[in-house]
Amino acid sequence: MARNAVILAGGQCKWGVREAHLVDLFQEAAKACFDDIPTLKPKDVDGLIVASSYAGRCSFQVNTAPVIAERVGVKPTSICTRCDTLCAGGSTGIILAMGLVQAGAADIVMVAGGEKLYTPQKWEVFYSELASVDHDWDGVHGMGLPPPFFALTAQEHMMHYGTTKEQLAAVSVANYNYATTNPVAQMQKALTLEEAMNAPVVVPPLTLYDCCPITDGAAVCIITTDEIARKFTDRPLVYIRGTAQVCLNSVSANFPGVHLADWKHTRIAAEKAYTRAKVSASDIKVAQTHDCFSISEVIEVEDLGFCKKGEGGEFCGSKQIEIGGKVPINTDGGLLACGHPFGATGIRQGTEIMKQLQGRARHQVKDADIGLTHNLSGANAEHTILIYGKEPVK
Amino acid sequence: MAVLGIPILEDLYPSTMDMWPLEAKEFNRNWMFYENLKQGRLTTTKCKDCGLVSYPPRVICPECYSENLEYIDLPKKGKVIVFSEEVKGVPLGFQSPLIHAVIDLGVDPARRVLSRITNCAAGTLQRGDEVQLAVFPVPALPIDKGKLGTIMSERVFFAFEPVKK
Ligand SMILES: [Zn+2]
């Protein structure tokens, strides 16, 4: 009899510029997670997956899993390891935890992601980011820093599909405004379209609010089976119905689409995840996309199948991503407003979808029963999708 | 001033902080790429068994896993498809403006190579502009050879620059 994986609980610490060490952030996030499920204790956890990509560069700490296990007070007896897929690390950790609990190789797995990116000298962050891509072929051209790459992507979307700067700004406005009530988001300021349109230039056509900030932070969630989860909670269970992670290239010269705004790898990941979850794009009631840049969300709504290719600008600009629209997206603020401590993001996303499906989200989408999270990582190299539902796949 | 315990301040070269490839044959089986670059040639590898041209160069063909590869020349001129100019927040080791372009070199698989554009003032590049290979020296790599002492391995790297109109 196959076991079904569920996400039982989740929490994060305050994200932003934190006066804290990396392991402090992990402890705070673990506390937030156990606060979310008070019946569960650290001693119940038998597996730990740590998602952190910059610990080695920014905190001089590699081999993070045992360090984090000790600090958060868990004693894993099934698995204790780190995964390093940068922006998708948290999502990758959940996929791995799902597989372990479904297979019976672990029962209750903590997935903990976090990064401490602000160093005492800020220039080190920009320098370290060059390590996010193929060092010898892209990093050496100064391409590790994401804004130039996504500025090229935005230009190509505008060239091929007529997307406007105003449509990009609409994404930032929607996501910022969701975060105004989120106490753990990095940005909690209401944003007007006018402010977004008149913001300082980062790399044209991207301006300040088109780009997610640099962030310190951590998030933790618990993956287990439905049977075990029922011992700890009366809440509706949130099943992981289907997942996919697709990587077709790393070096920018081998980008898989016909141009930078054509995300073939997103489409393949979506198709696989939908098939495994036995749902289609039209079943998704609420989503968390990887809005590292406003243009990313515009392209994601297309390549996830929420609208036709090329119509993402119109879809986002006409409030289809807001509550009452076709697919409310990033209802906690997304990367743009919550911030993006790489390994933590997928866990924040999964936690928000869990709360939406349990009817306890801050900006609740009515009758949400199927939700999706999506991460891209590196210079748009990997795409990771998880589909959650109130029922298991039958 | 040397600060004990912090090698970067003791005049040692920390290659874990190095932004340039370890081009020397002691550390990189793609060292021929860099030797060719020193001759002003942009090259990559072609599989002699299945014919696949890979970019960047490989030591094993990713298609048929043959090790029977040869270096071939790529065009040294291309056209700018799109470009971006970064003025602020340029990472250490790069000068502002940091310009990146997707360049069409006109042959597969190098129809969309992403490169830095050098020798180009901000606000002057345009889509469709012709650019050419620009090879430049980068800091030599000190290699510890034990009893033989430390040798300096010369290095170069490449970008593209506008072709004068
Ligand atoms: Zn071959």
Of A126, A143, A259, the CB nearest to B100: A143
Q: Where are the beta strands (DSSP E) in A226-289?
A: 239-247, 286-288
Pairing of strands A286-288, A370-377: parallel
Residue in chain B closest to A143 (alpha carbons) equals B100
Q: What is the pLDDT of residue B14?
A: 84
B159 at A interface, C-beta within 8 A: yes
How much of chain B exceeds pLDDT 70, in percent? 97
Pairing of strands A286-288, A239-247: unpaired
Of B83, B85, B114, the CB nearest to A143: B114
Question: In chain A, positions 123-142, which contact chain B (CB-CB < 8 Å)?
Answer: 123, 126-127, 129-130, 134-142
Q: Which three-class secondary structure state does DSSP give residue A133?
A: coil
User: Starting at the edge strand that comes first in sequence, how are the strands of the sheet with A370-377 ordered?
Assistant: A79-83, A47-51, A109-115, A217-225, A5-12, A239-247, A382-389, A370-377, A286-288
C-alpha dist (Å) from residue A305 to A179, A327, A336, A393: 25, 11, 22, 21
Give the CA dihedral A325, A328, A333, A334, nearest 10 degrees. -130
Q: For the segment B62-103, what is each residue's pLDDT rounded down to a tens digit?
A: 999 999 999 999 999 999 999 999 988 888 889 999 999 999
Q: What is the pLDDT of residue A144?
A: 81
Beta bridge partner(s), residue A242: A387
Q: For the segment B30-72, what is each residue's pLDDT rounded down to a tens digit?
A: 999 999 999 999 999 999 999 999 999 999 999 999 999 999 9
Q: Do B92 and A126 touch (CB under 8 A)?
A: yes
Q: B56: cis peptide before it, omega within 30°? A: yes
Q: Average of pLDDT values for A363-374?
A: 98
What one-character DSSP code corresponds to residue B10? Answer: T
Q: Compute, in angstroms, the gap from residue B71 CA to the centroid of ligand 1.
A: 13
How much of chain B exceeds pLDDT 90, in percent? 81
Token match 């088109």: residue?
A210
Residue in chain A closest to B101 (alpha carbons) equals A152
Residue A117, both tokens: 């990116």
Chain B CB contacts of A155 below 8 Å: 82, 84
Nearest to A140 by CA among B91, B120, B127, B126: B91
B29 at A interface, C-beta within 8 A: no
pLDDT band at residue B1 under the 50/70/90 scheme: low
CA triplet A75, A44, A78: central angle to 5 degrees? Answer: 50
How much of chain A exceeds pLDDT 90, in percent? 95
What one-character DSSP code corresponds to residue B20? Answer: S
CA triplet A375, A377, A381: central angle to 5 degrees? Answer: 115
Q: What is the pLDDT of residue A340?
A: 98
Q: For the segment A324-355, what is each residue's pLDDT rounded down to a tens digit?
A: 999 999 999 999 999 999 999 999 999 999 99
At A264, which amino acid appears? K
Chain A CB contacts of B89 below 8 Å: 126, 145, 147, 202
Average pLDDT along chain A: 97
B113 at A interface, C-beta within 8 A: yes
Instruction: Give how far the C-alpha of residue A286 lies from the chain's centroid of Cα atoms, to the nearest Å.
Output: 14
Cα–Cα dist A344/A32, whole Å: 13
Q: Compute, in angstroms, the gap from residue A18 CA to the centroid of ligand 1.
A: 50
Catalytic, out of A13, A58, A83, A87: A87
pLDDT band at residue B2 under the 50/70/90 scheme: low
Q: Do A136 and B159 touch (CB under 8 A)?
A: no
Q: Compute, in angstroms, the gap from residue A54 CA to the centroid of ligand 1.
A: 36
pLDDT band at residue B4 under the 50/70/90 scheme: confident
Residue A349, both tokens: 């996303």
Q: Do A253 and B109 touch (CB under 8 A)?
A: yes
Q: Do B92 and A135 touch (CB under 8 A)?
A: no
A149 at B interface, C-beta within 8 A: yes
Give the closest-approach CA distance of B113 to chain A in angstroms.
Answer: 4
Chain B CB contacts of A123 below 8 Å: 91-92
The count of other CB atoms within 10 Å of the CB of residue A57 is 21
Give the closest-approach CA distance of A377 to chain B in angstroms.
Answer: 18
Instruction: Give how far the C-alpha of residue B65 lies from the chain's centroid of Cα atoms, to the nearest Å.
Output: 25
List residues, by chain if needed, whose CB lies under 5 Å from ion ligand 1: B 47, 49-50, 52, 61, 63-64, 66
Chain A CB contacts of B57 below 8 Å: none
C-alpha dist (Å) from residue A383 to A53, A368, A376, B117: 16, 24, 4, 29
Chain A CB contacts of B90 below 8 Å: 126, 142
Chain B CB contacts of A251 below 8 Å: 55-56
Cα–Cα dist B48/B55, whole Å: 15
Q: Do A129 and B112 touch (CB under 8 A)?
A: no
Torsion sign (Cα): A289, A290, A294, A299: negative
Give yes or no for a contact between B139 and B155, defined as CB atoms under 8 angstroms apart: yes
Q: For the segment A6-15, what is each residue's pLDDT rounded down to a tens digit?
A: 999 999 999 9
Residue A33 appears among annotated catalytic residues? no
Q: For the segment A193-208, what is each residue's pLDDT rounded down to a tens digit?
A: 999 999 999 999 999 9
C-alpha dist (Å) from residue A8 to A153, A239, A311, A327, B139: 37, 9, 36, 24, 53
Chain A CB contacts of B94 below 8 Å: 142
How much of chain A exceeds pLDDT 70, in percent? 100
Residue A329, both tokens: 């997206």
pTM comes to 0.97
Q: Is the ipTM of this complex over 0.90?
A: yes
Q: Do A144 and B55 touch (CB under 8 A)?
A: no
Torsion sign (Cα): B60, B66, B70, B76: negative
Pairing of strands B130-144, B150-162: antiparallel
Q: For the segment A190-245, what is each residue's pLDDT rounded down to a tens digit?
A: 999 999 999 999 999 999 999 999 999 999 999 999 999 999 999 999 999 999 99
Q: Do B90 and A137 touch (CB under 8 A)?
A: no
Backbone angles phi, psi at A371, to 5 degrees: -130, 160
At B151, which amino acid appears? I
At A352, which amino acid appears? E
Cα–Cα dist A128/A144, whole Å: 8
Q: Compute, in angstroms, the gap from residue B50 CA to the centroid of ligand 1.
A: 4
Instruction: Indicate if the pLDDT at residue A89 is higher than 60.
Output: yes
Token match 């439905």: residue?
A226
Residue A374 appears among annotated catalytic residues? no
Q: For the segment A39-68, what is each residue's pLDDT rounded down to a tens digit?
A: 999 999 999 999 999 999 999 999 999 999
C-alpha dist (Å) from residue A222 to A57, A283, A362: 27, 25, 20
Chain B CB contacts of A260 below 8 Å: 82, 102
Nearest to B21 by CA among B31, B11, B13: B31
Question: In chain A, positions 155-184, which contact chain B (CB-CB < 8 Å)?
Answer: 155-156, 159
Instruction: Indicate if the pLDDT at residue B146 is higher than 60.
Output: yes
How many H helices and E strands in chain B?
Answer: 1, 8
Residue A356: which H helix or E strand, with range? helix A342-357
Q: Do B90 and A127 touch (CB under 8 A)?
A: no
Q: What is the pLDDT of residue A1?
A: 59
Cα–Cα dist A243/A279, whole Å: 12
Q: Compute, in angstroms, the gap from residue B109 CA to the centroid of ligand 1.
A: 14
C-alpha dist (Å) from residue A19 to A217, A220, A339: 11, 19, 16
